Amino acid sequence: MTPLSIWAVGDGRAGIDNQVLGLAEAVARRISAQIVRKRVGWKGYLDPLPPWLNPAPPWGMSSRSSDFSAPFPDLWIAAGRASLPLSIRMRRRSGGRTFVVQVQDPRLPAALFDLVAPPRHDEIQGEGIFAITGSPHRVTPERLAQDVADFRARIDPLPHPRIAVLVGGKSKAFDISTACAAELADKLERMVSQSGGSLLVTFSRRTPDAARAILTEKLSPLPGLIWNGDGENPYFAFMAAADAFVVTEDSVNMVAEAASTGKPIFIAAVDGAQRRKRLFHADLTARGIIRPFTGDYAAWTYPPLLETDRLADEILRRLKERNGQALNSVVAATAA
């Protein structure tokens, strides 16, 4: 049987690309599929245009964009503003053959797509919308086991509980000032002192240099590992080895990824506030997944948050409804 062809369309930002690729990989775990990663960007005056005014011509794409010419895929999974001019035209360009999934809130009518998958905290409802808690991602038990293998020699001697500290940073609504970083470091020091554990600290590209420097200086004397930015980010290795997480409140992606492990998550306050994040955290609090970070250690369990898999199942369900026996045959062949 011919595998399902999937284009995972992002804009080159890691947070966006990981969402579409993670969802594509989840679909491919369920059905024979071939995934092609695609990147889109626009030149000059086309970039700021509303998506319905950008005709999405090939000559208007930036030099870093992929080729989006036919043959078009069976399944189009896209996220990010830059993808929208192509996404809203893909069904017409493919003659209705391509099933178009837009991750996040496109801020456009859902009828322009086959399925819109926004985070639940965006409070969007209606026909053609399938909301999820958090965001799609690439975290699986298999990937975590694979990534941690290269760090075993450095991680295994560290005492438990091992606390993975996932530090975000500056965004439109949030920041990490030097005072905030110092307070976070003090709480982490107290947690290690009380628990007898160790830290696995990794920073985001968005982490301000001053905040990174303060955290590194204050936490370096404690048992653990701190990624200094050189070489491959051990983010997934630290997630695999952790007994619990401390995650700064600015990031939905990091919290959603950590929540897929079923391990305790403490949410560390930073500078700023946003209603959407409050709703997201309220959802996870009600599910018993997160607690505020005070510097005191605790352990608890909850069912892992597997929203990427749930969304992949919904996509395949809708594809089966549309394509009928043809897709059922591919699913049966994959299962065999």
Q: What is the DSSP letter of 149?
A: G
Query: Is residue 94 in a domain?
Result: yes
Residue type, 87: S
Instruction: Say yes or no: 74 and 214 in one domain.
Output: no
Is residue 302 in a domain? no
For residue 326, pLDDT over 60 is answered with no
The total of structural domains in the chain comes to: 2
- Helix pair 275-286, 252-259: axis angle to 10 deg: 10
Residue 232 lies in a domain: yes
| Adjacent-strand bridge partners of 174 | 272
Clarify whether residues 19 and 107 are in a common domain: yes
Q: Are residues 129 and 150 in the same domain?
A: no
Shared domain for 281 and 148, answered yes or no, is yes
301 assigned to some structural domain: no
Q: What is the pLDDT of residues 74-127, one digit of tens each?
A: 999 999 999 999 999 999 999 999 999 999 999 999 999 999 999 999 999 999
Residue 112 is assigned to a structural domain of this protein? yes
Q: Which of 15-19, 44-48, 87-91, 330-334 has the weakest average pLDDT?
A: 330-334
The arithmetic mean of pLDDT across residues 5-28, rounded, is: 96
- From CA 268, how far away is CA 291, in angstroms rounded? 9
Residues 275, 319 share a domain: no
Please check whether residues 127 and 158 belong to one and the same domain: no
Decide if pLDDT at 332 tops 90: no
Please enumerate in sequence order all residues whose Cβ is within 8 A of that of 197, keeping only pairs 6 or more positions apart, or say none: 159, 160, 161, 162, 163, 191, 223, 243, 297
CATH number at residue 328: 3.40.50
* Closest of 168, 157, 145, 235 to residue 197, by C-alpha: 157
Do both 102 and 189 map to the same domain? no
Same domain, yes or no: 107 and 163: no
Residues 63 and 40: their CA atoms lie apart, in Å, by 9
Provide mean pLDDT across the span 232-252.
95
Average pLDDT, the chain: 94
- What's the CATH number where 188 sits? 3.40.50.2000
Indicate whether 51 pLDDT > 80.
yes
Q: Is residue 297 part of a domain?
A: no
Q: Residue 267: beta bridge partners?
A: 247, 292
* 3-state SS assignment for residue 24: helix
> What global pTM score does this model have?
0.90
pLDDT beyond 70 at 334:
no
Reading across the β-sheet that carries 265-268, which strands appear in turn? 224-226, 198-203, 162-167, 244-248, 265-268, 290-292
Residue 262 sits in which domain range?
Answer: 141-292
Q: Is residue 211 part of a domain?
A: yes
Worst-scoring range by mean pLDDT, 38-52, 104-118, 194-208, 315-329? Answer: 315-329
41 and 68 co-located in one domain: yes
pLDDT at 115: 98
Is 325 in the same domain as 214?
A: no
pLDDT score of 336:
45
**pLDDT on residue 333:** 46
Query: In terms of domains, do 236 and 279 share one?
Result: yes
Full DSSP string of 206-245: TS-HHHHHHHHHHHTTSSEEE--S-SS--HHHHHHH-SEE
Q: Is the pLDDT of residue 324 over 90?
A: no
What was the pLDDT predicted at 328? Answer: 55
Residue (of 66, 69, 42) closest to 54 by Cα position? 42
In tens, the pLDDT along 144-203 reads 999 999 899 999 999 999 999 999 999 999 999 999 999 999 999 999 999 999 999 999
For 244-275, the pLDDT digits (tens) are 999 999 999 999 999 999 999 999 999 999 99
Strands 75-78 and 4-10: parallel
Q: Is residue 298 part of a domain?
A: no
230 shares its domain with 287: yes
